[in-house]
Amino acid sequence: MSGALITNILQYSLAALSGLAGLKLWRTGLHRRYPALLAFLLPNPVLSLGFLVSSVPTYVTYWKILQPFTWLFSVWVVLELYTVILERHKGLATFGRWMQYAGFAVSTLVSVVALLPQIRGGSNPADPVVVYYYAIERGVDCGMLVFLLVLMVWLTQYPIPLSRNVVIHSFAYTALFLSNSVGLFSQAFFGFELSRPVTLALTGVFGLCILTWLIFLNAKGEETRLTVMHFTPDQEERVLRQLETVNQALLKLSRR
């Protein structure tokens, strides 16, 4: 099977899976709980089908238009996860959001500035918009990855009961942006023309994450409560008391 045929199959699969996952979120009413995830899934069918039916210049134009929305929706998903996980701890949620905004701004600025010498030296592709888009995407993905990893580590330290949907969604989204970051930084080190196997692998991971949302997110998953780590009753009470103390302190600080 040729590489081009595999690419086409993956693109059709991404379009179908994204559409089905979005439809399931809508039909089960989970779009009210996870509107950012629904918005994040929406551009994928358009980009995938555009890749298949358009000429390269036309697809690049579509990509330039839709990609900023993809970044915004990606950031929104992370903010949504913070809100859902910390809905009972408003102080921590507010602090996390402000730290996230700062992290995105710094990582994106560093990524763009790092490209300036290469752009001025003429070592990048002719289209400067594409160059800057990749720089911004590296910054956004890096910022999101850091906060998602921090969030995952945090979940293993505190016995907060979460819905099964939230736990599955969190780990799938973290896996997605871990793979994206690996791909983007590989691109930074080895050039804008990534080898086909790496591109196919990243597309495959994206498809698996969408498939996870499609299969495992359901209405019953909102009712099923899980804790990532298990503690004894005494440990749980002590840890939650410490968490609430920090939350109250941050809440008071945010109101000043």
Q: Are 197 and 8 in contact (CB under 8 A)?
A: no
pLDDT for the residue numbered 48: 72
Structure token digits, residue 107: 């990582």
Q: What is the model's pLDDT at position 31?
A: 92
Please name the residues in contact with 242: beta carbons below 8 A apart, sequence gap of 6 or more: none
Domain definitions of the chain by residue range = 3-254
Contacts for 150 with CB less than 8 Å, ≥ 6 apart = none
β-sheet bridge partners, residue 163: 225
pTM passes above 0.85: no
Q: What is the pLDDT of residue 245?
A: 67
The whole-number pLDDT of residue 140 equals 74
Q: Are 25 and 217 in contact (CB under 8 A)?
A: yes
In the chain, the amino acid numbered 149 is L
Closest by alpha carbon to 183, among 160, 206, 161?
Answer: 206
C-beta separation of 197 from 183 below 8 A: no
Give the CA angle between residues 162, 80, 242 to the nearest 5°: 50
What is the pLDDT, as a whole number, of residue 165? Answer: 92
Question: What 3 state SS string does the chain have?
Answer: CCHHHHHHHHHHHHHHHHHHHHHHHHHCCCCCCCHHHHHHHCHHHHHHHHHHHCCHHHHHHHHHHHHHHHHHHHHHHHHHHHHHHCCCCHHHHHHHHHHHHHHHHHHHHHHHHHHHHHHHCCCCCCCHHHHHHHHHHHHHHHHHHHHHHHHHHHHCCCCCCEEHHHHHHHHHHHHHHHHHHHHHHHHHHHCCCCCHHHHHHHHHHHHHHHHHHHHHCCHHHHHCEECCCCCCHHHHHHHHHHHHHHHHHHHHHHCC
The predicted structure's pLDDT at residue 239: 61
Contacts of 127 by beta carbon, 8 Å cutoff, 6+ apart:
60
- Tokens linked to 40: 């994040």
User: What pLDDT score was predicted for residue 24?
Assistant: 94
Residue stretches of the chain with pLDDT short of 70: 1-4, 49-56, 89-97, 99-127, 154-159, 184-196, 227-256
